[in-house]
Amino acid sequence: MKKPSFPIRILLVFSTFMLTVLLYIDRACISAAKEEISSDLNFDLTDFGWVMAMFTLGYALFQTPAGKWADKKGPRTVIATIVGIWSVLTALTGAAWNYISMLVIRFLFGAGEAGAFPSLAKVVYYWFPVKERGIVQGINFSGSRIGAAFALPLVAIIIGSVGWRLSFLIFGAIGLLFAILWRTLFRNTPEESGAISKQEKKYILENREKPSQAGPIKLSFGTILSTRNMWLAMLQYMASNFTFYFTLTWMYPYLKDRFALGGVEAGIYSMIPLFAGAAGNWVSGLWVDWLYKKRNVLISRRLPAVTGFMLAAFGMLMMANIDTPELAIIFLAIAIFGADMTLSPSWAFCIDIGKENAGAVSGTMNMAGNLGAFVTIIAFPYLYEWTGSFQPFFYVCMVLSAMAIALWLFMNPGKTITT
């Protein structure tokens, strides 16, 4: 069959890309507002660490329930609902009046965002052939890095103009508009869409993974956790997030304070590792799909992930021994490029082993990964308080990446989770 043009899929990828851009703008803007929030509400370093960590804790704990919700209701309803919820809570962040109120709002905000990537896994499962999963996941995750990259200097500029409280209100309003558009225009499957051509629909249905003839098998949380594949995926993803979340939370204030940079200057420096992460997602996504076509599914998942963790370990080792902002950015960019190379194979792996339950399975992996991120956010200020040095944190990142390489050697995408 002649390969058709794909205007609907191109539009869909653009839409999911913009969703992840928005997701991470809303998530990262609090890091850029650290100085103003801490000054107004009298937060010290560890106080602010807990504020950022509470988001991640809420995000982690609701991953599996949100994934199961996406499996049951479909990504149309779930994505529209969660974008609406997190946008309202983004706006409410600007209304926080003390430490407790900020902790509660950020926890609920994290819970509200929890279903985003599991729902996107369902979009990929229904709308894209298996051989395109890698690049689609890579594009989606690159949007999150680009969103965070632009958020840091952008928020610094907006705060300088309207203050931090109104800045959060502006970002919340943008999110509500996206939720309305998604609910209006998106459909759960190609079969439900009236906008897709017959040729494109036929191509998708012939080349995507075939659903079970007996219908989807609903997996309990206990069943998902009963397999070695799932535990290996969770542990390696914790290592990946432990490295990446430094850029999303502490990188901006770290660069600003350690090297005495201005707010916008620190924001511009901070963009570079995040753009490197976006590039890592694209490179890995393309490599995953190329290896799938040329070799096999096992190599296509394992080789990009192992390579990524090797780069992440090297970059963080070098980060422990730098003394200029330029060197910090170079080696942090290498580390984040590598850490983000692990995302496309990780999420493709979850779709491989989860199939119709891809939302719940990927949500479970993301839950573990964000528990790792929670530890990162808390570990950074406390390790500095205990040791008086930033070096131990970077060494921990390096060791976890090295351990993740070993974990990938035992992961098998051919073994699906069954009852």
Contacts 24+ apart (CB under 8 A), 97-104: 97/41, 98/41, 99/41, 99/43, 99/47, 99/51, 102/37, 102/41, 102/51, 103/50, 103/51, 103/54
pLDDT score, position 338: 96
Whole-number Cα distances in Å, 279 to 54, 212, 261, 313, 417: 29, 35, 26, 18, 31
Tokens of 59: 């995000």
d(CA 81, CA 265): 36
Judge contact between 197 and 8, C-beta under 8 A.
Answer: yes
What pLDDT is stored for residue 245 in this prediction?
84
Give residue 177's pLDDT: 93
Contact 175, 27 (CB under 8 A): no
The pLDDT value given to residue 297: 86
Task: Return per-residue pLDDT of the chain as tens, 419 residues.
Answer: 445 454 688 888 888 888 888 887 777 778 778 888 988 999 988 888 898 888 888 888 887 787 788 888 888 999 999 999 989 998 999 899 999 999 999 999 988 888 788 888 888 888 888 788 778 877 887 887 887 787 778 877 888 888 889 989 998 999 899 999 999 989 888 888 888 888 888 888 888 776 655 555 677 778 888 889 999 999 999 999 889 888 878 888 888 888 888 777 887 888 899 899 989 988 998 898 899 888 888 899 999 999 999 999 999 999 988 888 899 999 999 999 999 999 989 988 988 888 878 778 888 898 888 888 888 888 888 888 888 888 899 999 999 999 999 999 999 988 887 64
365-378 pLDDT, tens digit each: 988 888 888 888 88
Q: Which of 122, 85, 72, 143 is nearest to 362 (CA)?
A: 122
Closest CA to 36 of 165, 190, 133: 165
pTM for the model stands at 0.76
Contact 393, 380 (CB under 8 A): yes
Angstrom distances, CA of residue 25 to CA of 21, 87, 150, 151: 6, 11, 7, 5
Q: Which domains does the chain have, with CATH numbers?
A: 7-208+219-408 (1.20.1250.20)
The Cα–Cα gap between 12 and 26 comes to 21
- Give the chain's count of helices (H) and strands (E): 19, 0
pLDDT in tens, 332-373: 999 999 999 999 899 889 888 888 787 788 888 988 888 888
| Main-chain phi, psi angles of 418, to 5 degrees | -130, 170
